[in-house]
Structure 1
Amino acid sequence: MTVTIYGIKNCDTVKKARTWLEGRGVEHRFVDYRAEGFEPKNLARWKSAVGWEKLLNKASTTFKELPDADKQGLDEKKAVALMQAHPTLIKRPVLDVDGNITVGFKPDIYEQATSDR
C-alpha cells in the first residue's frame, strides 16, 4: 500500500490526519506543497477523482481574501486556475492511497481507506 498525504505542515487538520496515520502505524509520505511546490498533474488527478467543487476550499482565508472578481462566476476552469496560483485554496489534507483520493480528514474514512488494502 502506498500512502501519500498532501497539505501544509502547519495546518491543524493536516496535523490531525498525520497523527492519526502515525498512531496506527500507517507508513506514509507527507508532501507540504507550500514548501516543496505543487505539481499541476496532481491537481488534475484530484479534480477528476473528487470534483473541483469539493477540492476548492471556499472557507479558507486565502479564498476570503481574493478579490470579488476572482470569486464571482466560478467554474471549473477558473477554480483550477485559482488553485494552481494559490495552492492554499485546496482543501486539506488530500490523502492518496494507491491512487484513491480522499479530501479532508475524517477518522472513519481514513480507517476505511487504509484498511481495505
Structure 2
Amino acid sequence: MRLYGLKTCDTCRKALKALPDATLVDVRAEGVPEDVLATALERFGERLVNTRSTTWRGLSEEERKGAPEDLLRAHPALMKRPLIVDGEAMYLGWDKATIAALAS
C-alpha cells in the first residue's frame, strides 16, 4: 500500500499512523508516477486538485484555469491528500468513508 502525500501534512501523518503497512511517498520530493497520476485523474477528475491549499491560493487566476493534470505536474503539492493506492483500489482523502473502506 502506498500513500501519496506530504511528510509535513497532519492528515497524511494520521493516515500513515492508522495504516502501519503503508509507505509514504512525499509528492513534493518524489512526485507522483505518471501511471498513478493518470489513473487518479481518471477516477477522481478535478477533485484531485486541492482548491483549499496554500499552493492553490498562491496561483494566479490564469494558472488556476489550467487543466488538472498540468497543474498537478507543475505543483505536486496541489494534490488533495492523501492519495492511497492499495493494489487496484484507490482512495482520495482521509475521511470516514476511506477509513471504513480500509478497515474492512
Normalised by the size of structure 1, how large is the TM-score?
0.79
63, 68, 75: which one aligns with 1:79: 68
Where does residue 63 of structure 1 map in the other structure? 56
Considering Cα pairs closer than 8 Å and 6+ residues apart, tell me whether 1 or 2 has the greater RCO: 1
15, 26, 31: which one aligns with 1:37: 31
Where does residue 13 of structure 1 map in the other structure? 11
Sequence identity percentage: 34
CA contact (8 A) 1:97 1:113 kept: no
- 1:48 maps onto 2:45 in alignment: no
Task: List structure 1 segments (4+ residues) > 4 angstroms apart after TM superposition.
Answer: none
Alpha-carbon distance, 1:44 to partner:
0.5
73, 76, 88: which one aligns with 1:99: 88
Structure with the greater alpha carbon radius of gyration:
1
Normalised by the size of structure 2, how large is the TM-score?
0.88
CA contact (8 A) 2:92 2:98 kept: no
- State the superposition RMSD in angstroms: 1.6
- 1:111 maps onto 2:104 in alignment: no
| SS of structure 2 residue aligned to 1:66 | coil
CA contact (8 A) 1:5 1:30 kept: yes
Q: Name the CA distance, whole Å, in 1 between partners of 2:87 and 2:32.
A: 19
Q: Which ranges of structure 2 fall in alignment gaps of 5 or more residues?
A: none
